């Protein structure tokens, strides 16, 4: 699992390229302290309070592509379930603190993700 990237994944880089070309500036992989929680979105617009997560299909159990492992299920099932729980908890914490949360799957076209982010940022302008 050491080879799995936490930041700078291909889908994330594609979205960031589009956002930068649109003239937006952002922070990457910034740790946010929200109450007692520590949340680390992939892309953060600090002034506008917009947090973006681009979730991997396997790690976050995508309903379309998130195939459950057939081996070692006693390890993987709780691990993937905890990832989904943590995602929901992070969303709630950020929203309670006044943030807009944008979540996208890695298989979503980067142009669609960037358009959703641009809309969220424009709502805060």
d(CA 34, CA 121): 20
Q: Is the pLDDT of residue 6 over 80?
A: no
Q: What is the DSSP letter of 42?
A: S
The boundaries of the domain holding residue 85 are 10-123
Q: Is the pLDDT of residue 125 over 80?
A: no
Q: Is residue 111 part of a domain?
A: yes
Which pLDDT score is estimated for 65?
A: 85
Name the percent of the chain lying above pLDDT 90: 83
d(CA 67, CA 117): 27
d(CA 92, CA 24): 26
- Give the tokens for residue 34: 């929200």
Does the pTM of the predicted model rise above 0.85?
yes
What is the CATH classification number for the domain harbouring 54? Answer: 3.40.960.10
Q: Is residue 23 part of a domain?
A: yes
Q: Is residue 2 part of a domain?
A: no
Q: Is residue 20 part of a domain?
A: yes
Q: What is the DSSP letter of 52?
A: E
41-59 confidence digits (pLDDT tens): 999 999 999 999 999 999 9
Q: Is residue 1 part of a domain?
A: no
d(CA 101, CA 49): 9
Give the burial string for 53-80 (b: 16+ CB within 10 Å, else e): bbbbebbbbbeeebeeeeeeeeeeeeeb
d(CA 113, CA 12): 10
Q: Is residue 81 part of a domain?
A: yes
The total number of structural domains in the chain stands at 1
Which pLDDT score is estimated for 111?
A: 98
Q: Is the pLDDT of residue 124 over 90?
A: no
Q: Is residue 5 part of a domain?
A: no
């Amino acid at each position: 699992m050491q080879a799995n990237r936490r930041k700078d994944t291909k889908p994330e880089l594609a979205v960031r390229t589009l956002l930068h070309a649109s003239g937006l500036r952002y922070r990457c992989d910034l740790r946010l302290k929200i109450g007692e929680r520590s949340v680390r979105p992939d892309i953060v617009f600090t002034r506008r309070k917009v947090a973006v997560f681009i979730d991997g299909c396997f790690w976050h159990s995508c309903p379309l592509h998130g195939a459950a492992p057939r081996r070692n299920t006693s390890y993987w099932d709780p691990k993937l379930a905890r990832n989904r729980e943590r995602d929901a908890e992070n969303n709630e914490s950020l929203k309670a603190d006044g943030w807009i949360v944008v979540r996208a799957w890695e298989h979503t076209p980067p142009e669609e993700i960037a358009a959703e982010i641009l809309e969220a940022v424009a709502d805060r302008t």
